Structure 1
Amino acid sequence: MARTNPIVFLQQVRSEISKVVWPSRNETLISTIMVLVMVALASLFFLLADQAISWLVQLMLSIR
């Protein structure tokens, strides 16, 4: 494995960081809101699915 000079490494890191296109504040806000909405929808879906499965299991176990 080749060893890199720490100074050269830091120069390369700085060069790569300058190539990154960072999202704007507005893009970050919209993405965050979208993630929160999707989390809420997924939570609601899994709550309803859990309740339905629980109801079916209770129905099946109560039949003799």
Structure 2
Amino acid sequence: MARTNPLQFIQQVRSEVSKVVWPTRREVMLTTVMVFIMAALTAVFFALVDVLIRSGLQGVLSIFG
């Protein structure tokens, strides 16, 4: 493994970081809102699935219980 001079390492890190394309404030806000909307839709979906499974099990148990 080749040893790198600390100054050379810092220069390499700075050159790599300069290549990064950072998102704009609008892109960050838009994707954040989209994540919250998708999380809410997922929560509603699983709540409905839970209600359906619970009512189905209660129906089955009332018949055989």
Asked if these proteins are the same fold (TM beyond 0.5), I'd say yes
Question: Equivalents in 2 of 1:63, 1:42: separation in Å?
Answer: 32
Question: Equivalents in 1 of 2:33, 2:63: separation in Å?
Answer: 46
Correspondence 1:26 to 2:26: yes
| Correspondences of 1:24-63 after superposition (within 5 Å) | 24-63=24-63
In structure 2, list runs of 5 or more residues that go unmatched. Answer: none
| Length, aligned pairs only | 64
RMSD, aligned α-carbons: 1.0
Residue in structure 2 matched with residue 4 of structure 1 by the alignment: 4
In structure 1, list runs of 5 or more residues that go unmatched. Answer: none
Question: Equivalents in 2 of 1:2, 1:11: separation in Å?
Answer: 16
Residue in structure 1 matched with residue 17 of structure 2 by the alignment: 17
Matched residues, percent identical? 56
State the TM-score, normalizing by the size of structure 1.
0.90
State the TM-score, normalizing by the size of structure 2.
0.89
